[in-house]
A and B are shown apart, each in its own frame.
Chain A
Amino acid sequence: MRPLLALIRREFTGYFLSPVGYVTLFFFLVATGVLFAGVVDGLTRSGSQGVEYPFAALFGENLFWFVFAFIPPLLTMRLLAEERGTGTLETLLTAPIRDWQVVAGKFVGAVLFYLVLWLPTLAYLPVLLNLEWTTGTSGIDPAYAWVSYLGVFLAGMMFLAIGLFVSSLVKNQLVAAMISLAACLVFVAVGYATPYLDANGWPARAVIFLSVPDHFRRDFTRGVVDTRPVVLYLSVTAGCLYLTVRSLEVRRLRA
């Protein structure tokens, strides 16, 4: 267990010691901040326009997800690819640490930094939930918030796991980032096909099943937890982590 914790600490602090983490954090906060400013506008205007689901206006938009799709590749591109490229992976693999611990350590470190990315967005909550400071109650249903964050956490884990797996297959960080991005974009862009498909046919149902923005637009940001996307996120996460372990195993055998 101690080697695992040490690895987690190493990976997590590594993000704060490199510019990648801060650059990622900066651009992520710019994107969410701009969306937040738009939501504030919708919540404070008078007239016949407005925002019914504040979190849908933040996390349900395709634009948010196109920007977000870049985040996991940036966070995971160096995890294994860089070590493979520099040759330190073999050193790591010869250390008294199992393959699954290596994968778990890198994954948990990435997830922890991913959570750090989202922490500043909690500052938006007083407005997004119309919090009443004196009584502590919220004018807007808090379920929108916590279910949205749950979904963001699970979806993020899935994207990070995909990125980690891709990173285990290639030596070059840039190639790892681009392949991860392509894989993530499949889950984001597939929803664009919906208008062209028969809503009752299986292709449309498959597209909606895979489309992460649709999961948020229809369910998470409205306070609904549907087990289908949850199972998708968890199963793909588990599958990718397993494949990453197997990939390291093959690497060890070849060595």
Chain B
Amino acid sequence: MDFFFEVLIGGLLAGVMYSLIAIGFVLIYKASGVFNFAQGAMVLFAALTFVSLLERGVPFLLAFLVTLAAMILLALLIERAVLRPLVNRSPITLFMATLGLSYMIEGFAQMLWGTQVHGLDLGVSDEPLEVGGLLLSRFDLFAAATAAVLVAVLSVLFNKTRMGLSLRAVADDPLAALSLGIRLQRIWAVVWAVAGFVGLVAGLLWGARLGVQFSLSLVVLKALPVLIIGGFTSIGGAIVGGLIVGAAEKLAEVYLGPLVGGGIENWFPYGLALLFLLVRPAGLFGERAIERV
């Protein structure tokens, strides 16, 4: 039974890492209705920039700030060059544009910083820690704490600041927000910048875990089932979805994997997401769309 709980809690903690990626999606989807496939590329770009600066002798904090500035610049550029010309187009068009965007960012990041794998040490060891008789990864606990802090900061930002109020207004009803004098374009730029910041945090944690390399941009594919299960519009949903996917994936790998020869973690979350979809098409916490002709 101890083994079961270890797997379960290990999975839940790994799920937090998925949630971190998913939060970036949710922010952008809520504010601009764009399903941002480039989130993974942004994670890669942030982690690669940060680690390359670090390797060139820039101190940790300065490297973090410079990378953050780069992410904000990227957000401004995206708003200007991609979102603004595509305003009022169908969601599918916007999705395909972010697909193009992810190609651009990936190509640019690798052209700038090269393709070799960089190690990243955040000063947290990955050695197991014994909590109540269960062995847990110290790094996973650190990641979970970071995610908790991040969510707390975001919810303060959304609920207590003027900017957060406008963000929520835009998410609720863009047209009404526009007529109240809220500048949609500025909100988009802010949201993409915040998503860039979330991407940076996720990039650091994932980079420390997997090494900073191209495959970081593929974590976006892990976040997709999380979004489906949690719903596209809820940060809480992203967290819960991440936990469900993480736990189910690990349990399936341990208990179901040997029956079919292993390697199922690539598609299992998708199968799970499909099952959820058949029961709740808008996800656990998503808003149900009402359709009119």
* B is bound to A: no
Residues on A facing B (Cβ under 8 Å): none
Residues on B facing A (Cβ under 8 Å): none
